[in-house]
Amino acid sequence: MSTTDERDYQPIEAYALLGNCEGCALVARDGSLDWACLERFDADPSFSRLLDRRRGGYFVIRPEGTYETTRQYLSRTNILQTTFTTADGFVHLYDFMVGPEGDEDRPRLVRLVSGLSGHVPMVALYRPLAGFAESFAPLRVDAGRITAEGCPGLVSDADFALEEEVAAARFTLGRGESRAFALYLAELPEAPPDAFALMEEVRLAWVLWTQDSAYVGPLADELMRSALVLKMLTYEPTGAIVAAATTSLPEEVGGIRNWDYRFCWIRDACLSFYVLKKFGMSREAEGFFAFVGALCEREKGQLKPLYSISGEADLEETEIAHFEGWRSSGPVHRGNGAADQHQADAYGQVLDLFYLYERLGGALSEELKRHGARLADISAAHWSEPDAGLWEPRKPERRYLHAAMMNWVALDRAIRLFGPREDWCTERDHIVAFVNGEGVHADGYYPQYLGSDDVDAALLIAPMVGFPVDEAVFARTVDVIDERLGYGHLVYRYKNDDGLPGHEGTFLLCAFWMVDALLWLGREADARTRFAALRVLQNDVGLIAEQTAEDGAFLGNFPQAFSHLGLIHSALMLDLYEHGGRAAVQGTYADRTLRETETRRAPDIKNAA
């Protein structure tokens, strides 16, 4: 009997995320653990079949024969329950990771399979790979204890044996019978932990975190799933948040637009923590402030667009040439060269988050105030210079209107936080005059950059940050974006040349930004129709991709923080509009966060635990 478990690549939407705020894993519908970075998000993987179906490591638990599956996360947790239905009976598979509140000797990931009815023959196949190694290390099997050089160790109460260089366990589960499998980075214990007791501890920890939620409306469970994803993508030791859990899932099947997203983009992190705050989860931003403060101190205010989750700036981009990539979409990348770009919008995002924090009752430290003022000084001095833009094209720098608007945000929030200074006030006014003057295209819309005919979906957020747009120009911009970048309820980021071959899918965050922009303009019916259509793009366990092909297939790294924060934000915008009309969605992020409705209270940092 073959144990190589060869199978084709699974659709991206077939995966569910596991996490513990340090590392993460992806489990397919068929019970295969195909991606896992157990130590930290940006570590080399122990299981990598996601990116090479022949060379990558995997850990499968499934019935021996034919089966069907259904999945769900246990309520208000990140514990995945997969139900296998077979001709012989029913089986539950529980997958979860154990959080950093445990000690270093804890298991990092636990798999627990339990019989519900009948007698179901099961198989477990364990074949890890040390990072992106070119060959598998030999497995050492001692009944239920398995080790290999450079790989996590496995402890189980199932007996394993080597079959064609794969560790295999075959057993039959009756009603009430179970087997546990625990992955360790430290020295292996003699026996697996009490998996049921450990799962209950993990369940209670997740449920306790969700109790801070400020929203109790009809979409509470759906939005909580997105909030739990954002929490899972947060690196507890430093407070950073990664853009996505994976590297090199493509923006085009067979194309080369494959990037490593396992790092902290300052922009993405600020938006994520803003949304978590608005949803009621205020504590996460505290750690991020310390992370940003340390970066500002080291960089003297000149923030790079992204950093590693522990703050390193050197993210040299390399190719893993011997991995073919998901569905032959190479190259597979480690690291991200965009860290060397100059993206001017990040300063506005940081100061906007500082402003929200203070408006909610938080007190900025003197150190953070000093760093914030320095960021504003940089914006005042350099806002009129070209930058690389937030979408990171491989093209010469331009004077992007989105960057100008976010520099306005930096200056506006600095003035509100620290008081007016002549250069801040002067340059803030100059930016408004530029954007609403020479920045406007002859046809009456805001273009992507000065002198361009192209549009950019990033401009949809202008009124959300409180920028004083010309309403007629903004309305025309929304229409042109929909006309040129829209595909039904979906929206592309841009369609002009970005210096790379091929093309990409529609960008989910931009589709949610369109919902927000339509509400700001008072076009409620269109906004609600689009939002309803976007909700359908979640997979069976509520996860959302970075991008979506026009046929609905998921593309890009997964799951994507941007997309989940977009879902939460648009839902809360619709809630505000329902209770207060167009006036309720005006102003800054902070203004809207403080407006309560029948279904959402304003968060209170001072009284947060």
CATH of domain 212-314+332-593: 1.50.10.10
Q: Which two tokens stand for residue 65?
A: 């024969």
Q: Which residue, 76, 246, 38, 282, is CA-closest to 153? A: 38
Q: What is the pLDDT of residue 607?
A: 57
- Listed residue (2, 3, 1, 11) closest to 539, CA to CA: 11
Asked if pLDDT for residue 120 goes beyond 70, the answer is: yes
Contacts of 125 (CB under 8 A, 6+ apart): 3, 5, 58, 59, 60, 166, 167, 168
Q: Where are the domains of the chain?
A: 12-207, 212-314+332-593
pLDDT tens per residue across span 326-364: 999 999 999 999 988 888 999 999 999 999 999 988 899
pLDDT at 1: 43
Whether residue 26 contacts residue 37, with contact meaning beta carbons closer than 8 Å, is answered with: no
Distances (CA, A) of 477 to 435, 454, 473: 13, 11, 6
Please state, in angstroms and rounded to a whole number, the distance separating the CA atoms of residues 123 and 3: 10
pLDDT digits (tens, 9 = 90+) for 448-500: 999 999 999 999 999 999 999 999 999 999 999 999 999 999 999 999 999 99
Length reported for the chain? 609
3-state class of 62 per DSSP?
A: strand
Question: Mean pLDDT for the chain?
Answer: 95
Count Cα atoms within 13 angstroms, Cβ side, for 33: 33
The predicted model gives 429-452 an average pLDDT of: 98
Q: pLDDT band at 242, cuts 50/70/90?
A: very high
Asked if pLDDT for residue 609 goes beyond 50, the answer is: no
Phi (first) and psi of residue 123, to 5 degrees: -140, 140
Can you tell me whether residue 167 is helix, strand or coil? Answer: strand
Mean pLDDT of 305-328: 95
How much is the pLDDT for 339?
87
Q: Which tokens is 609 given?
A: 């635990």
Q: How high is the pLDDT of residue 6?
A: 84
Instruction: 574-581: list long-range contacts, CB under 8 Å, 24+ apart.
Output: 574/515, 574/519, 574/527, 574/528, 574/531, 575/215, 575/217, 575/599, 575/600, 577/519, 577/524, 577/527
pLDDT the model gives residue 283: 80
User: What is the rounded average pLDDT of the residues 383-390?
Assistant: 95
Which percentage of the chain shows pLDDT scores above 90? 88
The CA distance from 216 to 316, in Å, is: 44
- pTM of the model as a whole: 0.97
The three state secondary structure string of 403-451 is HHHHHHHHHHHHHHHHCCCHHHHHHHHHHHHHHHCCCCCCCCCCCCECC
Q: How far apart are CA 328 and CA 306, in angstroms?
A: 28
The C-alpha atoms of residue 253 and residue 550 are separated, in whole angstroms, by 13
Environment class of 105 (CB within 10 Å of its CB; exposed 0-12, middle 13-18, buried 19+): exposed
* Number of other CB atoms surrounding residue 16 within 10 Å: 24
pLDDT of residue 4: 60
* Confidence band, pLDDT 50/70/90 cuts, at residue 3: low
DSSP state of 341: S
Return d(Cα 234, Cα 269) in angstroms, integer.
9
Q: What is the Cα–Cα distance from 361 to 594, expressed in whole angstroms?
A: 11
Q: Distance from first CA to last CA of the chain, Å, rounded? A: 56
- The CA-atom distances, in angstroms, between 584 and each of 356, 527, 550 are 17, 15, 33
| Residue 285 near residue 245, CB atoms below 8 Å | no
Q: Count of CB atoms within 10 A of residue 544's CB?
A: 27
36 three-class SS: strand
pLDDT at 259: 96
Answer yes or no: CATH 2.70.98.40 is held by domain 12-207: yes
Neighbours of 128 (CB within 10 A): 27
Q: Is the pLDDT of residue 608 over 80?
A: no
Give the pairing of strands 166-174 and 161-163: antiparallel
pLDDT at 605: 67
75-79, 184-188, 302-306, range with the lowest pLDDT: 302-306
Q: Which residues pair with 188 in a beta bridge?
A: none
Q: What is the 3-state secondary structure (H, E, C) of 259-316?
A: CECCCEEHHHHHHHHHHHHHHCCCCHHHHHHHHHHHHHHHHCCCCCCEECCCCCCCCC
